């Protein structure tokens, strides 16, 4: 069933994408940051977003995390509308309650970690499970310790963020997001604020997630080599649109569009 | 009369006055903190009515004199059928006044918490109320404690005004003793010293301790 604007109330079928942006537009005042974005991400797929600064990469993730309202179009997660909700046979803008229900499927890691400074690494991870999911302290602790183990931070579980390096903080932030058991994980330049020698700590954790877990992931990154290694698909953003996308071997090996070629050669020269 | 003889004779009344001053201070502080929190949050609310109410409250209580507010609560409200005993009227007036100043501190403290903290709390799907209570307020508190220290000293000094509606605080006892003995230097000198001791050796050290404890909790030291 379609609502009057032509958007389905839900997406059903065998190949329901885990995430679907349909004709999404986002503006800040007079500045249109994303124009008519269409992007489907399959369950378990790892999609990287690359592109020049200001091309709208972060905005894509923030809209999906519901940190930004969209101006047009609909975003679906797991077949259900996220930014909208069905009401009397048509889609209306989601209210806070609907957002809280749907947002549970999504987790996000930020460039600057944003750990809670008044809590230890373990408490950071337990906060969501206890306060939001209603787990008991013991259950939340078990779950959090398991994840801190996964990211290699179990030995620092009682430290506050101010005592941790950037790479360590980012690993805790990944554990904190995973503790909510999201279906979709978003990574916004999670290594950009790190010293070069600790970038590997964080990328290795993401590698492990890709190989051992069936998470759907959307990652904005400036590390072309990393994106090439682990992505199923790479999207090159330019001026608020997907200029070109495809499997990493093709996009990096044989880019079709001139802007992609220019961007990639500029990045290579910088290295 | 030398000061020791004076103290030997009048210490029970001065002590009882000091007790009342401390009680007034404490009750006004509790009320003032509660009002600060409520008004500070309301001023940041999306809701126009709540915001308007907070702005009006803050304007009225910061824009007029505490003494006039005290008289209003004690002498004018009874004309509208609301009569409060003088002890309650005293700390309520002082607390409401301090609350207007504290509201601005609460608001500023909340705004000083980086946006990334809100966003991280939303990303783990916390409700707006939980985000505020569990993530933002604890951090805001640390940022606003130093100016709260000053406000608490102002509050202590402000309680002296309750003597004007005959609450038997330190100032009131001092004036009574002065009225019957005319030992102005001794009596007001002693009051001065007691107020100073309360501010300098009780309120300030407590606030410092609180600042350090909170900073430690945030891992800032
Ligand atoms: N809150 C905002 N207000 C106004 N403009 C914004 C805001 N956030 C982002 N922008 C603008 O939107 C554009 C895209 O931003 P962003 O998605 O952060 O780009 P990227 O992550 O690709 O560098 C930029 O031009 C940026 O200046
Ligand atoms: Mg960005």
Q: To test the ligand 1 pocket, which listed residue (A29, A56, A112, A267) has its Cβ within 8 A of the most ligand atoms? A: A56
Contact assessment for residue A143 and residue A128, using Cβ atoms and an 8 Å cutoff = no
**Residue range of the domain that includes A150:** 119-181
Chain B positions touching A112 (Cβ under 8 A) are 116
CATH assignment of the domain containing B152: 1.10.3720.10
Contact assessment for residue A171 and residue A205, using Cβ atoms and an 8 Å cutoff = yes
pTM over 0.90: no
Separation CA A187–CA B195 (nearest Å): 57
Q: Is the CB of A54 under 6 A from ligand 1?
A: yes
Separation CA A220–CA A204 (nearest Å): 16
Contact assessment for residue A59 and residue A32, using Cβ atoms and an 8 Å cutoff = no
Ion ligand 2 contact residues with beta carbon within 5 A: A 58
Is there a contact between B135 and A116 if contact means CB atoms under 8 Å apart?
A: yes
From residue B40, how far is each of B49, B58, B106, B117, B131 by CA, in Å?
14, 9, 5, 19, 16
Give a yes or no: residue A30 inside a domain.
no
Give a yes or no: residue A215 inside a domain.
no
Q: Tell me what ipTM this predicted complex has.
A: 0.93
Is B49 touching A (CB cutoff 8 A)? no
A240 CA distance to ligand 2 centroid (A)?
12
Task: Please give the tally of structural domains in chain B.
Answer: 1
pLDDT tens for each residue of B62-106: 999 999 999 999 999 889 988 899 999 999 999 999 999 999 999
| DSSP3 helix / strand / coil % (chain B, rounded to 5) | 85, 0, 15
Is there a contact between B123 and A108 if contact means CB atoms under 8 Å apart?
A: yes
**Residue range of the domain that includes B196:** 3-217
Is B112 touching A (CB cutoff 8 A)? no
Contact assessment for residue A115 and residue A172, using Cβ atoms and an 8 Å cutoff = yes
Q: Is the CB of A192 under 6 A from ligand 1?
A: no
Please list the residues that pair with A137 across neighbouring strands: none
Contact assessment for residue A110 and residue B120, using Cβ atoms and an 8 Å cutoff = yes
Task: Please give the tally of structural domains in chain A.
Answer: 1
A30 CA distance to ligand 1 centroid (A)?
12
Q: Is the CB of A227 under 6 A from ligand 1?
A: no
What string of pLDDT tens digits covers the 271 residues of chain A?
Answer: 455 567 889 898 888 999 999 999 999 999 999 989 999 999 999 999 999 999 999 999 999 999 999 999 999 999 999 999 999 888 999 999 999 999 999 999 999 999 999 999 999 999 999 999 999 999 999 999 999 999 999 999 999 999 999 999 999 999 999 999 999 999 999 999 999 999 999 999 999 999 888 899 999 999 999 999 999 999 999 999 999 999 999 999 999 999 999 999 999 887 6
- Closest listed residue to residue A17, CA positions, set A32, A38, A2, A31: A38
What token pair was written down for B52? Answer: 């308007």
Separation CA A218–CA A49 (nearest Å): 7
Separation CA A63–CA A206 (nearest Å): 22
Judged by DSSP in three states, B171 sits in helix
Give a yes or no: residue A166 inside a domain.
yes
Q: Which numbered atom of ligand 1 lies nearest the CA of A59?
A: 17
């Amino acid at each position: 069933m379609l609502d009057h604007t032509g958007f389905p109330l839900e997406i059903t079928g065998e190949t329901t994408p885990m995430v679907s942006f349909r004709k999404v537009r986002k503006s800040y005042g007079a500045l249109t940051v994303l124009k008519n974005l269409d992007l489907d991400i399959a369950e378990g797929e790892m999609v990287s977003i690359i592109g020049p600064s200001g091309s709208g990469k972060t905005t894509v993730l923030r809209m999906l995390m519901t940190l930004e309202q969209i101006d047009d179009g609909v975003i679906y997660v797991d077949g259900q509308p996220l930014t909208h909700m069905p009401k009397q046979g048509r889609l209306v803008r989601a209210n806070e309650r609907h957002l809280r229900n749907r947002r549970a499927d999504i987790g996000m890691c930020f460039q600057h970690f944003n750990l809670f400074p008044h809590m230890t690494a373990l408490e950071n991870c337990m906060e969501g499970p206890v306060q939001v999911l209603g787990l008991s302290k013991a259950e939340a602790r078990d779950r959090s310790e398991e994840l801190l183990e996964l990211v290699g931070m179990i030995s620092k579980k009682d430290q506050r963020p101010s005592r941790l390096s950037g790479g360590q903080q980012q690993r805790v932030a990944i554990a904190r997001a995973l503790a909510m058991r999201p279906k979709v994980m978003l990574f916004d330049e999670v290594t950009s604020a790190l010293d070069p020698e600790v970038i590997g700590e964080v990328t290795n954790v993401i590698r492990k997630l890709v190989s051992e877990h069936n998470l759907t992931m959307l990652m904005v990154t400036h590390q072309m080599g990393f994106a090439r290694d682990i992505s199923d698909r790479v999207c090159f953003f330019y001026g608020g649109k997907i200029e070109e996308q495809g499997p990493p071997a093709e996009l990096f090996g044989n880019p079709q569009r001139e802007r992609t070629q220019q961007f990639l050669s500029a990045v290579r020269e910088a290295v | 009369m030398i000061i020791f003889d004076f103290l030997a004779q009048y210490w029970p009344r001065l002590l009882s006055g000091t007790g009342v001053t401390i009680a007034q201070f404490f009750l006004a502080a509790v009320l003032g903190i509660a009002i600060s929190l409520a008004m500070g949050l309301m001023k940041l609310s999306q809701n126009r009515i709540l915001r308007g109410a907070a702005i009006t409250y803050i304007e009225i209580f910061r824009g007029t004199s505490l003494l006039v507010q005290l008289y209003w609560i004690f002498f004018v409200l009874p004309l509208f059928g609301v009569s409060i005993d003088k002890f309650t009227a005293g700390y309520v007036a002082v607390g409401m006044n301090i609350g207007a100043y504290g509201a601005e501190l609460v608001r500023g403290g909340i705004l000083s918490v980086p946006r990334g903290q809100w966003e991280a709390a939303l990303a783990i799907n916390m409700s707006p109320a939980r985000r505020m209570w569990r993530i933002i307020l604890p951090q805001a508190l640390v940022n606003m404690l130093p100016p709260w220290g000053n406000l608490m000293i102002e509050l202590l000094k402000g309680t002296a005004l309750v003597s004007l509606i005959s609450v038997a605080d330190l100032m009131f006892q001092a004036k009574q003793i002065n009225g019957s003995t005319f030992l102005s230097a001794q009596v007001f000198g002693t009051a001065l010293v007691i107020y100073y001791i309360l501010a300098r050796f009780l309120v300030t050290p407590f606030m410092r301790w609180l600042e350090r404890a909170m900073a430690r909790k945030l891992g800032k030291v």
